[in-house]
Structure formats: C-alpha cells, structure tokens
C-alpha cells in the first residue's frame, strides 16, 4: 500500500491519480482539517485516512510513501520511515514513472517560475502540445496527458530533496542565493539540494553569471555580458539596451520585450537555451519572448496608455524585491513614478529609501506605513493618498510619458486580502484610465 503524506494540493493530486488507477493508498496529515479535506471527501478519497499527530502505526503495511514537499526531513514520521527502510519519494519522482513525453526541469532561488512559463509559451508558439506544471502551480500528477509532447516542470528544492530517480531531457538552475535557511541546516545543504537536479539531466544547462554555477561542467551555457565561447545564447549591454545573441548572431534587443531588467534577460537566455536544446525554432521562441508579459503580479507589464507604461509588481512585499523592480525599470525609463506602501516588515528599508531618492522621480505612498515612509524619502515629489484609485490617478498625472510602477515593498493586509487582490485592484484602475 502507498502512503500519501500531506493533504495539500500535492497530496490531493496523488490521491486522485491512485484512485483513478485503482492503486491502494492511505492518506495522513497532522492537521485535523488539512486544506484539501472537503474536496477529498466529495471525491471519495478518504476511505483510509488519518488526521492528527504522527503515529508510527500509520506506517503499517506501507511499501512506499509519496511525501508532500512541506514535510521536513526532521519530522518524526520521516525518521521512522528511514529506520524502517520504507521508500520515500516525491510526486515528481512518481510523475517521472508515468510521463511519456520529454521533461525539462527548472529550479533556482529566483526566476524559475518566469523561465518555466516563458519556455512553455515558446513551445506553444512553436505548435507543441506542452504542459507547464510543478511548483509553478499545477501539480504534476494532475498534469499527465497522453497528448503531451513536452513537460516544462518547475522544481523546488523541497521536491528535489525527496526525489531519488528522475529522467530529465534537460535542466537548469537559474541561480543560487541564500534561501529557506529555516529548513536547511546551512547554506551548503541548500546548494546541494539545488545542484541535485543536474544528476537527473541528459543535458545540463549552466548559467555562467552565477558564481556558484559557472565552474560546473555542462552541455549548454548562457551568460549576460560575461560571455565566452561556450555560450549558446548570450547578451551584451549596449548603452541602455541589451543585445541578445545566438552563437554571436544578433536576435533582438531588449527594447522589443515587455519584461524589463537584467534579471529578465538572464531568464530569457535560460528559456532560449532549454528550448533550443529541445528543438524549438528560433523564430517561434523570439516571437513568444516579445509577446511575453511576465508572470502576474511580478513586475508584470499591464498596459501602455497615453504613452505611459504601467507595471504591476504587487508580489514585492519586501524591500529587496522592490529594489530589484526599481533598478530594472530605471534602466529603461527617464521618468519613473513609484506607488509603494502597506504594512512595513521588520527589515531595514534604508537602501530602498536611498534608491527611491536617487532614481525615482516621484513616489505615491499608500497604507499603514505611508506617514513613516514619507518622513524618510526626499524624492522630488512625495504624495500620500488613502486609496489605490487615488494612487493610480496621482501617479498617472506625474508620469509624463514614463512609467508607473506598483512595487509596495510591504505587506498588503491593511488594505487588501493579499498581494493578488492589491495587484488586481491596481490593474483595474489602470485600465480605467482609458
């Protein structure tokens, strides 16, 4: 019998697969009311289920465990399984047993979702029946399809930790920076988790811009500015633009793209390299890149209205991510108006304020922290308003052919249910400007 450990969206997807294929299974979760409990009841998936504190009897008769990525290695149930030599696998490994089309795996500390989505859209543009799935949102076990010609899968370090066997056509690590150190005992363990993806790849794709990756052996390489002869795809900075090249031959300049910033050039090169390795045409990939608006709420291009470009970066809920967004747009626009504010986090905002003072023409502040922030910002124009509607209107009045950027650097819960609602409200008022 199989044990599904954790009844979130991953566990639900595995249970559905087992039920459909008449594979006996048990579900266990420490939570009395896990997120997918009601859905599982309605679908008749709880014939053998246990909810509550871990108990070793849960493992009776179990030959293999499919573990949700949120369950840490240090938990008692995992320790008991290791002692009993019970096989522990991820949903990714299970998926790999049944997927009949090539799989491309994408991981990294930052940018992996963007590369996954962009590569999938490149495949669509080339007429391929591609499936985008994994950590990006749709569980892999819900994504199996007899018609699939390519699976583009985002992989988290947690998923990789519980994967022992997997066959990937190609894979990439976009970059590695300190993250999830509450889960890993040290940064080295986190690095090892990310690097494990390459052991499953027929072709390893390497980002030469990352200090932790550039010395690795691989099959395909890409880089921005620090180009060498190994690069399949590369980019050079020319004034305020980037030229994207394939084997030294010009493809396009960054002003043709809707996404902005050096980090998105790296993301583009990763997608191009992976797509080329699979066999996608350059023409289709370039068209998809030009059409790509980015992921929702992540420096997402919204629209151009009366020569003003609008960007929704509502997912930036801390100073570091908003700094990245401002720097990205500053490369492209001489007149940048920032909408920021909300519930400030317990972090140092001094670098964010310094950047605003140096590179932002005007800032419109909203939310709980607006009064405090206004005292620390000396940009030419600082306005405090009490609604997103007023913020969009005020920012638009000052943009003058430049760009309006919502990148709050703060949590949203003082005015909105979450960052998704905040971004949606921003976009609604932007489009009303027409």
DSSP class per residue in 259-299: S-SHHHHHHHHHHHHHHHHHT--HHHHHHHHHH---STTSS
3-state secondary structure 58-126: HHCCCCEEEECCCCCCCCHHHHHHHHCCCEEECHHHHHHHHCCCCEEEEECCCCHHHHHHHHHHHHHHC
Q: What DSSP state is assigned to residue 10?
A: H
The one catalytic residue among 110, 138, 180, 335: 180
The one catalytic residue among 42, 55, 110, 112: 112
The one catalytic residue among 41, 55, 110, 135: 135
- 213-251 burial, b for 16+ CB within 10 Å, e for fewer? beeeebebbbbbeebeeebbbbbeeeeeebebbbeeeeb
Neighbouring residues of 417: CB distance < 8 A, sequence distance ≥ 6: none
What are the helix (H) ranges across 126-257? 157-161, 187-195
> In whole angstroms, what is the distance from residue 104 CA to residue 106 CA?
7
The pair phi, psi for residue 17, each rounded to 5°, is -65, -45
Instruction: Choose among 160, 102, 140, 103: nearest CA to 16.
Output: 140
Positive or negative, the CA dihedral 434, 310, 372, 357 is negative
Q: What DSSP state is assigned to residue 301?
A: E
171 in Cβ contact with 194 (< 8 Å):
no
272 in Cβ contact with 221 (< 8 Å):
no
12 in Cβ contact with 74 (< 8 Å):
no
Annotation says 180 is catalytic: yes
Specify the residue for token string 């291009």: 301
Please, which contacts does 76-82 make with residues 24 or more away whose CB atoms are closer than 8 Å? 77/5, 77/28, 80/54, 80/56
Active-site positions?
112, 135, 180
């Amino acid at each position: 019998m199989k044990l599904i450990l954790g009844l979130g969206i991953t566990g639900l997807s595995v249970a559905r697969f087992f039920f459909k294929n008449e594979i006996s299974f048990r579900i266990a979760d420490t939570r009395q009311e896990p997120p997918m409990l009601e859905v599982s009841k309605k679908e008749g998936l709880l014939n053998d289920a246990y909810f509550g504190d871990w108990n070793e009897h849960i493992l009776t008769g179990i030959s293999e465990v499919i573990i949700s990525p949120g369950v840490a290695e240090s938990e008692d149930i995992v320790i008991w399984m290791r002692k009993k030599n019970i096989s522990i696998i991820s949903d990714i490994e299970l998926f790999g047993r049944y997927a009949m089309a090539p799989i491309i795996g994408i991981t990294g500390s930052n940018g992996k979702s963007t590369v996954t989505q962009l590569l999938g859209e490149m495949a669509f543009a080339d007429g391929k029946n591609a499936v985008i799935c994994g950590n990006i949102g749709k569980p892999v076990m819900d994504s199996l399809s007899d018609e699939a010609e390519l699976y583009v899968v985002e992989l988290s370090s947690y998923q990789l930790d519980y994967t022992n066997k997997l066959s990937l056509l190609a894979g990439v690590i976009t970059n590695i920076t300190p993250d999830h150190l509450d889960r890993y005992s040290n940064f080295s363990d986190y690095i090892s988790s990310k690097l494990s993806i390459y052991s499953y790849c027929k072709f390893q794709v390497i980002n030469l811009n990352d200090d932790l990756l550039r010395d690795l052996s691989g099959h395909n390489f890409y880089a921005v500015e620090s180009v060498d002869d190994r690069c399949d795809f590369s980019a050079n900075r020319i004034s305020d633009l980037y030229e994207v090249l394939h084997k030294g031959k010009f493809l396009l300049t960054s002003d043709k793209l809707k996404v902005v910033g050096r980090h998105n050039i790296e993301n583009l090169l990763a997608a191009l390299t992976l797509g080329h390795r699979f066999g996608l045409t350059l023409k289709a990939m370039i068209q998809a890149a030009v059409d790509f608006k980015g992921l929702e709420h992540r420096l997402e291009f919204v629209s151009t209205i009366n020569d003003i470009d609008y960007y929704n970066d509502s997912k930036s809920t801390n100073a570091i991510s908003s700094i990245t967004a401002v720097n990205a747009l500053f490369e492209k626009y001489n007149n940048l108006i920032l909408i920021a504010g909300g519930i400030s986090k317990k972090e140092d905002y001094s670098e964010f304020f310094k950047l605003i003072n140096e590179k932002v023409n005007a800032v419109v502040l909203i939310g709980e922290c607006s009064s405090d922030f206004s005292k620390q910002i000396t940009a030419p124009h600082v306005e405090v308003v009490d609604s997103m509607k007023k913020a969009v209107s005020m920012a638009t009045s000052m943009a003058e052919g430049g760009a309006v950027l919502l990148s709050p650097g703060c949590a949203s819960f003082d005015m909105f249910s979450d960052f998704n609602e905040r971004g949606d409200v921003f976009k609604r008022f932007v489009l009303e400007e027409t």
